[in-house]
Structure 1
Amino acid sequence: MLRFSVLASGSSGNAVYVETEKTRILIDAGVACKQIETAMAEISVCLEDLDAILITHEHFDHIKGVGVVARKIISQRRKKGYERTEIPIYATEGSWHDLHNVVKEYPEPYRKTVRVGDKLEFEDLLIEPFPLSHDAREPVGYVFYHENNKLTLATDLGYMSSRVKETVADADAYILESNHDINMLRVGPYPWHLKKRILSDKGHLSNEAAGEALVDIMSERTLDVLLAHLSQENNYPELAEVTVQGILAAANKQVRLHHTYPDKPTALYEIKPR
């Protein structure tokens, strides 16, 4: 059993939860600790049950709440008499450059470095980091493997390279960026330098780019796609879904598309063993 929920998603903040029978992981904590705790409670999970926190990159909408979340976990575990109170935080060396200031005084042994090419092994969960093209120091996405199931998380990327496509292809489910509608962005209120950044190869995937990427990476085993990191200024959930669905239909591809939200969690989706 591999289950997951997008706890928060969008330009205002991001957090994702993944679990198996024996492992519980939080990926990013870009919103307040209270929002993460409330979202987890809606899917019947407690902060102190987490085994690790993984960071994709150091931008504020992905790390805002990390320090408070980690300290809250320690406090709750101490109150409940846990033998181990600290929780390991995993990030690339580039991300740690800025993340150290967010988790000040956090014990050094629990600051773990993620390296592309290495896999993170938990009891019944294998996690593979892969590099993304984004204007951060060393951003990564993650592929989660449990038994014969595969889940891919890929947001904050300007384009999907052939290397990334090879890594993430043939997954049972995707949490994939569908950040903006190109026309809305171009005529919108953003200053030109910001529009140029978003549209660049180190920016964000548009609805069209997300659909085209899915055509290349989906297989017959792919059942669910959660469209994530939508811009609240340059996109609408319905527009993202219609655009992506149209591209997939033209390529004779079928999948269940799901919305994500900046202020509430999705359902706890389950990938059942095949």
Structure 2
Amino acid sequence: MRFACLGSGSEGNALLVESGKTRLLLDCGFNLRETTARLARLGRSPSDLSAILVSHEHGDHVGGVPRLAAKFGLPVWLSHGTHLQLAAIGQMPEQFHLFDTHHPFAVGDLWIQPFPVPHDAREPTQFVFSDGAYRLGVLTDLGRSTRHIETMLDRVDALVLECNHDVELLAAGPYPPTLKRRVAGDYGHLSNAAAAALLAKLDTRRLKHIIAAHLSRTNNRPGLARQALAQVLACEQDWIAIADQDTGLDWRQLL
């Protein structure tokens, strides 16, 4: 199993996970042209994809999904709540499958364990992917951790973890008070400190890759995110990778 990121942040998100003949795109917040260009950087094209998996209905995660799915005949997997929200605004793809946020399911060679997260969406979900030997946890777009989340992510081999903002930068930054409260609230986004606190509760002995994701351009810095996570893991800061908004993240292999 291997994974790569097309881009991560408020301007668009997409993560590519591969195992065997299965190539699954988690979210797509980029237009078709941009998605195609970003896949090409990873040696892939939209026609290589097996399916699209959607975490929630916010535009930076789902904005590019309907057109990508329609043009390339891709099935889309999503929660019941996300389906209802997209249907209400006329953005539901033609081919779709619904999943229960507490029940695992398979897409080709990938086994997927969804789990609910607190975020200001209809039924937001995050995931653990497995090929039977290794587990990749993905956790972004949530305002706080829960015991269930921590149970799902315990002993993963790789983790993509939201480090959206630095608390002090957000407080002193240009966002209006209402937006600051949303970002920092229980249904907003994880700060560096909150991500580090979550990480400290996990059994990380199997961890081979950790990627800080969904960093705010305005309210965070890569060095601050690296520092927070490296302190928990007692590792060099350079070992913490960053999923960048513009350049994404190159392939990471689980062996």
2:102 pairs with one of 117, 136, 146? 117
Q: How does 1:22-171 map to 2 (within 5 A)?
A: 22-73=21-72, 86-100=73-87, 101=89, 103=91, 106-107=93-94, 110-171=95-156
Which one has a bigger Cα radius of gyration? 1
1:219-250 alpha-carbon deviations (Å, 9 max, x no partner): 2110111100011110011221122222433x
Task: Name the SS for the 1:220 alignment partner.
Answer: coil
> Structure 1 residues 253, 242: closer, same or farther in 2, change over 3 A?
closer
Displacement of 1:71 in angstroms is 2.5
Q: Any runs of at least 4 consecutive aligned residues in structure 1 with deviations exceeding 4 A, and if so which?
A: 252-255
1:48-72 alpha-carbon deviations (Å, 9 max, x no partner): 1211100000011111111121123
Q: Scaled by the length of structure 2, what TM-score is found?
A: 0.94
Determine whether 1:207 maps to 2:192. yes
5+ residue gaps, structure 2: none
CA distance in 2, matches of 1:60, 1:54: 14
* Residues 102, 116 of structure 2: 8 Å contact kept: no
Determine whether 1:239 maps to 2:238. no
Q: How many residues align?
A: 254
* Residues 111, 132 of structure 2: 8 Å contact kept: no
* Residues 2, 254 of structure 2: 8 Å contact kept: yes
More displaced stretch, 174-183 vs 253-262: 253-262
5+ residue gaps, structure 1: 74-85
> Structure 1 residues 212, 255: closer, same or farther in 2, change over 3 A?
farther
* Residues 77, 97 of structure 2: 8 Å contact kept: yes
- Tell me the residue number matched to 1:256: 239
Quote the sequence identity (%): 36
Displacement of 1:102 in angstroms is 5.4
Displacement of 1:265 in angstroms is 2.7
Question: Given residue 25 of structure 1, which amino acid in structure 2 is its aligned partner?
Answer: L
Displacement of 1:132 in angstroms is 0.4
Displacement of 1:253 in angstroms is 10
- Tell me the residue number matched to 1:266: 249
Task: Name the SS for the 1:190 alignment partner.
Answer: coil
* Residues 85, 122 of structure 2: 8 Å contact kept: no
Task: Name the SS for the 1:18 alignment partner.
Answer: strand
More displaced stretch, 254-263 vs 184-193: 254-263
- Aligned residues: CA RMSD: 1.8
